[in-house]
Structure 1
Amino acid sequence: MTLSDADAVQPGLDLEWTTKALQTLTQLHGVVHGVVLTSDGMIKGASSGLSRASAEGAAAVTSGLQSCARQVAGALSGHADTALRQVVVETGDGFVFSVPAGAHTHLVLYTTREADLGMVSYEVHRHIGNLGSRVLNTPARDTLG
């Protein structure tokens, strides 16, 4: 799936880098699909072969998953400001791997059970680290107007 120029891409997100990163990450053994999204569930990029409907569904659910994970971590740790580093969901068929990728931005991958999660984690963090805050920071949307 490629976002067209008609799609609203917020300032601060480098669509070319996002596309290249998703292409690279989905070439890792066992990685099936990936999505880059804003914290409020807007798609900023998705791997090729993933339908728009699937990408939108994944983005919406991932946004909620990240929020719930932050709340659970804060409640159980006693530190409401605990930084969320990653969320991994294991299924019968594989794993959902979600990490913050800058301010108000997340990267989520789906892998098969055969994927090396250590390598996937390393590569995700390497891509995010190489880019730093220059590209993947998505401004918060104004919810009042």
Structure 2
Amino acid sequence: MLEDALEVPGALHAILLSADGLLRAHSQNIDRDEAERQAAGLSGLQSISRSTAEFCGSSDTPWRQTLVEFDAGYVFVVAAGASTYLAVSADSTVDMEAVTYRMHKLVDRLGKEMTSPPRSDPDYST
């Protein structure tokens, strides 16, 4: 499912991470060791970003997204559920609006996949 976020030209890698830095999933084009290293770093990045809400004028302003720009590209981090974040890296040619749109659409899909309704067993009666 993470591959969907990479369908924008210039998008490179996608990882799903927990707030405490554990890797939950990664796209095929990044190896597990690198994805785990990035998950650890990105959890710190989103934590720092959330702690600076007062800089926007209110300490109760909810965090939505962090964007880091480098000479060679970008890293986007968005909330993807309870204590879960989606991160995508991209080169400098990426359409930033298109990649964030794809990320938010993927978060919508992930939310539905991660929260499935309880299963009922027709053979079990109470």
TM-score for the superposition, normalised by structure 1 = 0.73
User: How far apart are residue 133 of structure 1 and its match?
Assistant: 5.8
Listed as ranges, the matches of 1:4-19 within 5 Å are none
Q: Which has the higher strand share?
A: 2
Find 1:63's aligned residue among 43, 66, 79.
43
Q: Which residue matches 2:72?
A: 93
Larger Rg: 2
User: How far apart are residue 129 of structure 1 and its match?
Assistant: 2.2
TM-score for the superposition, normalised by structure 2 = 0.84
Letter in 2 for 1:107: L
Provide the rounded CA distance (Å) in 1 between the counterparts of 2:111 and 2:26: 20
Q: Determine what percentage of the aligned residue pairs are the same residue.
A: 35
Gaps in structure 2 of 5+ consecutive residues: 116-126
CA deviation digits over 1:57-106, x for unaligned, max 9? 1101110000100111x231342222111100000100001001011000
Provide the rounded CA distance (Å) in 1 between the counterparts of 2:110 and 2:41: 25
Gaps in structure 1 of 5+ consecutive residues: 1-19, 137-145
Listed as ranges, the matches of 1:114-129 within 5 Å are 114-129=93-108
Change (3 A) 1:41 1:122: same
Query: What's the Cα RMSD here?
Result: 1.6
Q: Which residue matches 1:132?
A: 111
Q: How many residues are treated as equivalent by the alignment?
A: 115
Q: After TM superposition, what 4+ stretches of structure 1 lie above 6 angstroms from structure 2?
A: none
Q: Is it true that 1:23 corresponds to 2:10 in the alignment?
A: no
Provide the rounded CA distance (Å) in 1 between the counterparts of 2:112 and 2:19: 15
